[in-house]
């Protein structure tokens, strides 16, 4: 308690000393341990066709979990869950039924009935039935008006943060339209944690088809004259078991070893292209989403860092938790589950470094060689420490999206940040030519560049683990207020 009080006072009342870089031959030896050949070898298996795209759930995902656990065992990490590396999670797979599904849009007397095959339903565990709901057209993530009891037509990117806002404002349902470059297939399944499957949600209807699109495009922003009538039967339920893979490198300092740094990446991807999708590379048909960069590159980086830091004697002062997460592609499932069921106390967890898409340098905007970015760069002190680490190893770590960073909410760091933990995602290519396509394969990775980026990460993580100061949220940034509040809830001021 004395440690937490001192940390709280330092954070809120006075300027704490800046986090500083670790030095010494043992640090250099750990950084030098990171190898392009090792990264290539692990990734060529993890993103091979044999793992069938690591969908959640799937046989390939299970094989990946066992492989990662074997690598944690090889690195000498402690298995923290009753001697096991697996945090098992009970989920329910909801399968949507199209029989009885109907959706009609009425725009001032002109009705458009949407074909069942052009409607996908999610975020509901029971029957949905609404008659003549008014449609509110939302063109940004800023929900200012009263949308309670209305169907909200979302034309901006649908994010977890936006769904939270709409749920808080008691929207009756959400209507989404797919992006022009959305991948093939119409998902009919959704995964929900067993302990949340009966919680209230905001049903979402993804609506396709030219007729519906024309109506939606013609509607004005805000409350429209159109209404929607929908009926969707309740889904079938099948229980499934999923798992995060977790290993810990215990700290060497008597006090700091009971504080934790988490290093994360998601080990799932998109599985196999649906039969009605089309994809051809050269003359060979290919339907497997191998996910080499997204996020096999992050997973093998976690493995490589575990091996490098595990070889240090003594270990870094704080304990370091290496964790690969299930179901990011299904909506940050593994990270959200861990935040609700932490293996290590959240109030003793000082940071999360989430690694995603660090293998490709052919970013859609411009080549990203010897460079990396952290999402939400100015949200906390954490990215600045890694910028210093980057200077030491020749990697330019920079703020790619100043201000309100749209990428911050798109990876597993968001779930940990919502819990109050300073948490960011590091990436090299935020968008690249094969993003969420079957062409994201291991031979397209720049392993030399990934090696130097991982060395930057290794130096930053060691520095963070050896420093008695903890990174703090930036209270002056308006985008961090809910994270600051969550942090304070984790570290309440002791009563006199």
Q: Which residue has the tokens 């709901």?
A: 133
Report residue 447's pLDDT band, with 50, 70 and 90 as the boundaries. Answer: very high
Q: What angle do CA 448, 454, 457 make, to 5 degrees?
A: 155
Report residue 165's pLDDT band, with 50, 70 and 90 as the boundaries. Answer: confident
- Look at 356-360, 407-411, 449-453 and tell me which has the smallest mean pLDDT: 407-411
Q: Inform me whether the pLDDT recorded for 163 exceeds 70.
A: yes
Query: What pLDDT sits at residue 277?
Result: 53
Query: What pLDDT sits at residue 125?
Result: 85
Query: What pLDDT sits at residue 167?
Result: 86
Q: Inform me whether the pLDDT recorded for 440 exceeds 70.
A: yes
Q: Inform me whether the pLDDT recorded for 12 exceeds 50.
A: no
Q: Inform me whether the pLDDT recorded for 384 exceeds 90.
A: yes
Residue pLDDT, tens place only, 313-355: 999 999 999 999 999 999 999 999 999 999 999 999 999 999 9
Residue pLDDT, tens place only, 69-122: 999 999 999 999 999 999 999 999 999 887 889 999 999 999 999 999 899 888
Burial bucket for residue 217 (CB in 10 Å: 0-12, 13-18, 19+): exposed
Query: What pLDDT sits at residue 1?
Result: 37
- Look at 152-156, 193-197, 256-260, 481-485 and tell me which has the smallest mean pLDDT: 152-156
CA distances (Å), origin 238, targets 63, 89, 95, 187: 21, 14, 8, 16
Report residue 33's pLDDT band, with 50, 70 and 90 as the boundaries. Answer: very high
Mean pLDDT of the chain: 91
Q: Inform me whether the pLDDT recorded for 276 exceeds 50.
A: yes
Tell which residue, 246, 197, 237, 196, has the closest CA to residue 88.
246
Report residue 13's pLDDT band, with 50, 70 and 90 as the boundaries. Answer: very low
Whether the CB-CB separation of 426 and 372 falls below 8 Å is answered with yes
Q: Inform me whether the pLDDT recorded for 207 exceeds 50.
A: yes
Helix 297-310, helix 59-74: angle, nearest 10: 20
Q: What does the DSSP assignment read for 175-218?
A: EE---TTPPSS---EEEEETTTTTS----EEEE-SHHHHHHHHH
Residue pLDDT, tens place only, 111-124: 999 999 899 888 88
Residue pLDDT, tens place only, 171-205: 999 998 876 544 434 457 889 999 998 887 889 99
Whether the CB-CB separation of 411 and 425 falls below 8 Å is answered with yes
Query: What pLDDT sits at residue 4?
Result: 39
Q: Inform me whether the pLDDT recorded for 160 exceeds 70.
A: no
Query: What pLDDT sits at residue 179?
Result: 62
Q: Which domains does the chain have, with CATH numbers?
A: 17-93+240-490 (3.40.630.10), 97-234 (3.50.30.30)
Q: What b/e readout covers 243-275, taking b as 16+ CB neighbours within 10 angstroms? A: bbbbbbbebbbeebbebbbbbbbbbbbbbbbee
CB atoms within 10 A of CB 128: 18
Q: Inform me whether the pLDDT recorded for 15 exceeds 60.
A: no
Report residue 290's pLDDT band, with 50, 70 and 90 as the boundaries. Answer: very high
């Amino acid at each position: 308690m004395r440690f937490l009080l001192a940390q709280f006072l330092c954070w809120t009342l006075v300027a704490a000393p800046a986090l500083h870089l670790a030095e010494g031959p043992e640090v250099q030896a750990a950084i030098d341990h990171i190898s392009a050949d090792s990264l290539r070898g692990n990734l060529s298996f993890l993103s091979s066709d044999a793992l069938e795209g690591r969908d959640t759930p799937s046989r390939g995902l299970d094989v990946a979990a066992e492989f990662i656990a074997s690598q944690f065992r090889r690195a000498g990490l402690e298995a923290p869950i009753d001697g096991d590396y697996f945090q098992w999670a009970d989920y329910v797979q909801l399968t949507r039924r199209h029989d009885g599904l109907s959706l009609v849009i009425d725009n001032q007397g002109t009705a458009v009935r949407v074909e069942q095959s052009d409607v996908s339903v999610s975020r509901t565990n029971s029957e949905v039935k609404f008659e003549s709901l008014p449609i509110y057209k939302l063109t940004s993530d800023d929900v200012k008006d009263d949308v309670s009891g209305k169907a909200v037509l979302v034309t901006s990117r649908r994010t977890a943060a936006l769904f939270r806002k709409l749920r808080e404002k008691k929207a009756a349902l959400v209507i989404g339209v797919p992006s022009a470059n959305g991948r093939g297939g119409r998902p009919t399944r959704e995964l929900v944690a067993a302990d949340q499957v009966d919680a209230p949600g905001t049903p979402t209807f993804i609506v396709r088809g030219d007729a519906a699109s024309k109506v939606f495009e013609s509607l004005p922003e805000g409350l429209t004259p159109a209404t929607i009538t929908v009926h969707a039967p309740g889904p079938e339920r099948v229980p499934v078991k999923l798992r995060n893979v977790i290993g810990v490198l215990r700290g060497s300092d008597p006090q700091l070893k009971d504080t934790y740094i988490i290093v994360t990446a998601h080990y799932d991807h998109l599985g196999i292209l649906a039969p009605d999708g089309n994809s051809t590379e050269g003359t060979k048909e290919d339907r497997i989403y191998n996910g080499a960069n997204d996020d096999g590159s992050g997973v093998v980086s976690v493995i490589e860092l575990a091996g490098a830091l595990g070889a240090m004697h003594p270990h870094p002062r704080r304990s370091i938790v290496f964790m690969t997460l299930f179901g990011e592609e299904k909506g940050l499932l593994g990270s959200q589950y861990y935040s609700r069921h932490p293996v290590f106390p959240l109030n003793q967890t000082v940071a999360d470094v989430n690694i995603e898409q660090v293998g490709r340098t052919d970013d859609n905007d411009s080549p990203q060689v010897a460079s990396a970015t952290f999402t939400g760069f100015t949200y906390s002190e954490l990215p600045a420490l890694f910028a210093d680490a980057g200077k030491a190893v020749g990697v330019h770590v920079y703020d790619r999206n100043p201000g309100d960073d749209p990428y911050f909410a798109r990876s597993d760091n968001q779930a940990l940040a919502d819990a109050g933990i300073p948490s960011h995602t590091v990436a090299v290519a935020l968008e690249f030519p094969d993003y969420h396509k079957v062409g994201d394969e291991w031979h397209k990775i720049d392993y030399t560049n990934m090696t130097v980026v991982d060395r930057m990460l290794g130096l930053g993580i060691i520095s963070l683990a050896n420093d008695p100061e903890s990174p703090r949220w930036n209270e002056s940034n308006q985008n961090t207020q809910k994270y600051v509040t969550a942090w304070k809830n984790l570290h309440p001021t002791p009563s006199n």
